[in-house]
Amino acid sequence: MRVRIVTDADRRRSRYLFDRVYDLLRAGDWRIRFARLDEDEGLQKRFGLTACTVGLCDHETETLYVDYRKELLPILIHECLHAIYPEKDEQTILELEEDVVLCLTPGQSRRLIGLVNLLD
């Protein structure tokens, strides 16, 4: 396991990214659908999903799919980042997700969960 020192710059970047994620969800333009992606044949065929897919960002319908049996917050943050940065590749999104999750505070977690409860 890799150890990472969190700097003030990391916290500022994380806060910026968190605010973008929160604003995306709060705007209400994107829907969140909780699904068992490994069992949804329609989504598997449409997007070519693998059995290990835990989240999906559908830009066409502005829908974020999240496998509710997995780690909800990291998946939701990851898929929101795909919505915000459609031009970025998977590795970059994974790095941005790690930045946000690493510095995520209990208050930010509560805000996201509260917002998801309002949207569902």
Full-model pTM: 0.90
CB–CB of 55/75 below 8 Å? Answer: yes
Secondary structure class of 20 (helix, strand, coil): helix
Mind listing the pLDDT tens digit for each residue in 4-38?
Answer: 777 899 899 999 999 999 999 999 999 999 999 98
How far is it, in rounded angstroms, from Cα 34 to Cα 37? Answer: 9
Burial of 23 (0-12, 13-18, 19+ CB in 10 A): exposed
Q: What is the pLDDT of residue 3?
A: 66
Tokens of 64: 């974020």
